[in-house]
Amino acid sequence: MEYAKRKLSEEKVFKDPVHRYVHVRDRVIWDLIGTKEFQRLRRIRQLGTTYLTFHGRNTAVSATRSASMKLSGELQMMFLKTG
């Protein structure tokens, strides 16, 4: 089976502050998330230290990356359906 089309044996789910839950089913996406470059985004804050004052405000780049992944997946499915 081609690597880009391989699926995970078990679906992975991430909690996202905007989109609630993001589901990962593809092996290539899971491997991408596991890279050190992608994991580095967890430590980067968009608004610096404001998260220390506003505790409910998650400004980590990793929070927005999961939202981007979800939206790009939905866009891809839309393109595949419309041909």
Structure tokens given for 64: 């927005």
pLDDT digits (tens, 9 = 90+) for 27-75: 888 888 888 888 887 777 666 666 666 656 555 555 566 667 777 777 7
Tokens 């004052």 found at: 53
What pTM does this model have? Answer: 0.56
Question: Helices in the chain by DSSP H: which ranges?
Answer: 27-33, 36-40, 50-53, 61-82
Of 3, 7, 18, 4, residue with least CA distance to 60: 18
Quick one: pLDDT at residue 75? 74
Can you tell me the mean pLDDT for 5-34?
84
pLDDT category at 9 given cuts 50, 70, 90 is very high
The Cα–Cα gap between 47 and 58 comes to: 9
Is residue 11's pLDDT more than 90?
yes
